[in-house]
Amino acid sequence: MLFVFWYNALIATHNFVHTPWFKVDALNSVYAVFNSANLGFPVTHYRYIHFNHHQYGNDRQDSNGNTQDWSSTFANGKNGQHENVIPYCALAIFRDDVLASFRQAKKQRDVVQLSLESAACCLAALGYLVISWKFFLFFYLPVFYLGWFFTYLANYYEHFGAAPGNLYADSTSYYDRTFNLFFCNEGYHQEHHLRPNVHWTKRHQIYQDFREKLDGVERTVLKFPHVFGFLHHRGRPEISNNCSLP
């Protein structure tokens, strides 16, 4: 169940916010409400956080110690470095500012949608609690928390060791074919940042389109999936040797 929750957050919902499933907006809205209940997290809130991340690309702190990317791995780091991976992942779900999303939703005229999704999250949690407090306390909450912990863990290593501000090296990638087959080309994260609204089936083509520039810079290409990125960086400098696809 934890794997399914994590896969939904990291893969399915991530792809949905970039390339919605349906051509009819109303169907996408309905799906987002139901999926919010599954995630315990409003999909519209997810979208605002994630699009902000794409806009500012895991930026470093400015002279005032702030980042524009709300989920930047540098946001709570010290001396211009990434925050340690454990507190980053452990505290991330508590740092998300839902009120900021409501302010953004007001500008985008998404308040009704965000309200419906938030209500779905609350009703689902309440329903689990009414059915069985033991289920809620010992199953739902751990799956919810750990699911988001591992989602942020993947995000951390999608950017740890990268070069913020460099369009072709501000993210990391992992090119194993089997992994990318089953995980919707999630390994092509640098490519995804170059063209975020391109469907996941086209990410390999993005690499080919930008191959000369991607292979021409020193960037981090992982030897393990992002969620296991710590294995790649163990005993290594942050920036790995350039590695291209065959």
Render pLDDT for 15-31 as a digit per residue (tens, 0 to 9): 999 999 999 999 999 99
Same domain? For 244 and 191 the reply is: yes
Question: What confidence score (pLDDT) does residue 233 get?
Answer: 84
Same domain? For 76 and 188 the reply is: no
- What's the domain count of the chain? 2
Share of the chain above pLDDT 90, in %: 87
Q: Count the Cβ atoms, other than its own, within 10 Å of residue 57.
A: 18
Same domain? For 37 and 82 the reply is: yes
Q: Which of 119, 141, 157 is the last residue of a domain?
A: 157
Residue type, 173: S
Rounded to the nearest integer, the mean pLDDT of the chain is 93
Same domain? For 130 and 219 the reply is: no
Q: Which of 135, 157, 179 is the last residue of a domain?
A: 157
- Secondary structure of residue 100 in the 3-state scheme: helix
DSSP 72: -
Residue 3, classified by CB atoms within 10 Å of its CB into exposed (0-12), middle (13-18) or buried (19+), is exposed
How far is residue 29 from each of residues 22, 34, 158, 200, measured CA to CA in Å?
10, 9, 29, 21
Which has the minimum average pLDDT: 73-82, 116-125, 226-235? 226-235
Determine contact, residues 74/59, Cβ cutoff 8 Å: yes
pLDDT in tens, 162-199: 999 999 999 999 999 999 999 999 999 999 999 999 99
Determine contact, residues 222/174, Cβ cutoff 8 Å: yes
Q: What's the mean pLDDT in 198-224? A: 95
Decide if pLDDT at 5 tops 80. yes
The token duo for 239 is 């920036």
Same domain? For 120 and 198 the reply is: no
The phi, psi pair for 221, rounded to 5°, reads -115, 115
Decide if pLDDT at 238 tops 50. no
Determine contact, residues 173/194, Cβ cutoff 8 Å: no
- Secondary structure of residue 174 in the 3-state scheme: coil
Determine contact, residues 73/88, Cβ cutoff 8 Å: yes
The phi, psi pair for 69, rounded to 5°, reads -80, 115
The token duo for 16 is 């949905």
> What is d(CA 94, CA 141) in angstroms, rounded to the nearest whole number?
14
Same domain? For 145 and 214 the reply is: no
Question: What confidence score (pLDDT) does residue 242 get?
Answer: 47
Same domain? For 177 and 204 the reply is: yes
Q: What's the mean pLDDT in 199-209? A: 96
Decide if pLDDT at 202 tops 60. yes
For residue 100, the number of C-alpha atoms closer than 13 Å in the C-beta half-sphere is 9
> What is d(CA 227, CA 152) in angstroms, rounded to the nearest whole number?
9
Q: What's the mean pLDDT in 66-76? A: 95
Same domain? For 48 and 80 the reply is: yes
Q: Which of 141, 157, 173 is the last residue of a domain?
A: 157
Same domain? For 152 and 174 the reply is: no
Same domain? For 144 and 190 the reply is: no
Q: Which range of residues forms the domain containing residue 206? A: 165-246
Same domain? For 21 and 37 the reply is: yes
Which has the minimum average pLDDT: 10-24, 140-154, 228-242? 228-242
Same domain? For 77 and 120 the reply is: yes
Decide if pLDDT at 12 tops 60. yes
